[in-house]
Amino acid sequence: MIQEETKKATYTIPVGPIHPALKEPVRLALTVDGEEIVDADVFVGQVHRGIEWLGMNRNNPIQSIYLAERICGICNICHPFSFVMAVEHAAGITPPPRAEYIRAITAEMERIHSHLLWAGVAAHEIGFDTVFYRTWQVREEIMDLIEYVTGNRVTKAMFQIGGVRRDITEEQYPRIRQSLDYYKNIFDHLKKVFLEDKTIQMRTRNVGVLTKEDALKLLTCGPSGRASGVPKDVRQDQPYGAYADMDIVAMTPDMVTGTVVGDVYDRIIVRLLEVKQAVEIIEECLEKMPPGPLLAQPKTAVLLKTLTKAEGEGVGRAEAPRGEVVHYVRMESGQSTLATWKVRAPTYVNLMCVPTILKGMQIADVPITFASLDPCMSCTNRVVVTDRAADRKSVIDYEELHRLSVEKTRELAS
């Protein structure tokens, strides 16, 4: 029956107004009984750009690094990270140790900025805009640091097959440490703002609960999985690069509260803890960074020749801010493009738990619940609502949904 409804609903997609805080379009179809959500369905594909196809039919592997960087505007370190690992694995190239450390540092910087971005969006979704501005102000510090280290705020172009393209020198350490100290000093303040505020607690405690069993069955990964008590983190379980030299522990909410509920509040805890953890990892990397070259093969033409001759397959797995990114490549000798390229972004699996976490919630809870997964396509700018009791369908746009959410916060707070 739901299948039937969603089929009709497909014709009501208008690519809606895009909200500056959200990234990509995705559509949800919710079946509601009055205010309560009884079923939900997710539609993806509005921004499918055929990137894998380009990597298999047009680009050589070095060109594909830049394509991999553009899969996502936020995860533009972990996608090329995983991609170059997969190609290195297939072609038998080992990056020098110094490059591994620089890779880890940039990946952790990305985690800090992504989690803070998310925290701001989450505050905005419940209508707490002062916290939204404050969090994004705090985030500027890491953006400046990223620009200082890589030369760019967004696409950093740090990765090359067999190493990295830019060094982090001793002279840069004081500036990096200054930013890290800033985050260490402000951590308690952030924790207080997000975890002790009554309104935030009311809007997030017991909202969008995902049990451990459901998380395991629906393959939920990353902070959303860890918030449900699944201690799965690639940096801990199957460490790659510089992470293999460190003892990383997967963050779970019971480290702060003693229990695992698996709700939105727990997802906030996990992400805050990971910001702190990322700062510590960068410090450790700076301390232990070995000297040496940055690239296994500095000459691009020679590298390209090696890659064209390479035969084999490889898997690259990296822990992105949202969960595990997996790239699979297959290379055939004499072929300039990749024979197969398959990308798995964390949101791909995390979206499968959306119907589970939305069931039983109210429409006003949709923005924060959906955003709590930090979906890479968090633009719920069009949601189709089917009122089962009244037997009618209507399309709620993002602004309307956001207004409902803000009203709920005001009601609770007054």
Partner 1 sequence: MERLTPQAIIDSFKKELGDGFVGGSVYEREVGVKKNTFRSLWVEVKKSAFRDAVEHICHLQEYPHLAIISSSDLGSEVELIYHFTIYYGYHLEELSLGLRVKLPKSDLKIPTITDFIPGAIFTERETQEMMGVEVVGIPDSRRLFLPEDFPEGAYPWRKDEKGPPKDMLRVLPGREPK
With a CB cutoff of 8 Å and minimum separation 6, the contacts of 93 are: 87, 161, 162, 296, 297, 306
C-alpha angle 3-26-120 in degrees, rounded to nearest 5: 140
Q: Residues 178, 104: contact at Cβ < 8 Å?
A: no
Phi/psi zone of residue 29: left (φ > 0), alpha (ψ -120 to 50 degrees), beta?
beta
- Nearest alpha carbon to residue 69 among 160, 168, 145, 162: 160
Q: Residues 317, 85: contact at Cβ < 8 Å?
A: yes
Question: Is the CA virtual torsion 122, 108, 245, 283 positive or negative?
Answer: negative
User: Least distance (Å) from partner 1 to the CB of residue 63?
Assistant: 13
| Strand pairing category for 379-387 and 25-33 | parallel
**What single-letter DSSP state applies at residue 264?**
H
DSSP run (H or E) holding 324: strand 323-331
Q: Residues 37, 359: contact at Cβ < 8 Å?
A: yes
- Nearest alpha carbon to residue 270 among 253, 257, 258, 254: 253
Residue placing its CB nearer to partner 1 in the complex, 122 or 242 = 242
Residue placing its CB nearer to partner 1 in the complex, 128 or 240 = 240
User: Least distance (Å) from partner 1 to the CB of residue 250?
Assistant: 7
Residue placing its CB nearer to partner 1 in the complex, 221 or 363 = 221
What is the secondary structure of 100-147 as a DSSP string?
HHHHHHHHHHHHHHHHHHHHHHHHHHTT-HHHHHHHHHHHHHHHHHHH
User: Least distance (Å) from partner 1 to the CB of residue 43?
Assistant: 9
Map tokens 């067999």 to a residue. Answer: 162
User: Least distance (Å) from partner 1 to the CB of residue 60?
Assistant: 12
User: Least distance (Å) from partner 1 to the CB of residue 391?
Assistant: 23
User: Least distance (Å) from partner 1 to the CB of residue 217?
Assistant: 5
User: Least distance (Å) from partner 1 to the CB of residue 249?
Assistant: 8
How many angstroms separate the CA atoms of 219 and 368, rounded? 21
Residue placing its CB nearer to partner 1 in the complex, 79 or 139 = 79
User: Least distance (Å) from partner 1 to the CB of residue 338?
Assistant: 10
Residue placing its CB nearer to partner 1 in the complex, 122 or 325 = 325
Residue placing its CB nearer to partner 1 in the complex, 75 or 351 = 351
Residues at the site binding partner 1, with contacts judged by CB under 8 A: 3, 10, 44-45, 48, 50, 52-53, 56-58, 89, 94, 97, 100, 216-221, 230-232, 234, 236-245, 247-250, 288, 290, 315, 317, 324, 326, 328, 330, 339-340, 342, 344, 348-349, 351-352
Residue placing its CB nearer to partner 1 in the complex, 218 or 384 = 218
Residue placing its CB nearer to partner 1 in the complex, 316 or 321 = 316
Residue placing its CB nearer to partner 1 in the complex, 57 or 394 = 57
Residue placing its CB nearer to partner 1 in the complex, 53 or 148 = 53
Phi then psi for 20, rounded to 5 degrees? -60, -25
DSSP H stretches of helix in 220-379: 222-226, 234-237, 254-257, 264-288, 300-309, 346-350, 354-358, 366-371
User: Least distance (Å) from partner 1 to the CB of residue 185?
Assistant: 30
**What single-letter DSSP state applies at residue 372?**
T
User: Least distance (Å) from partner 1 to the CB of residue 78?
Assistant: 14
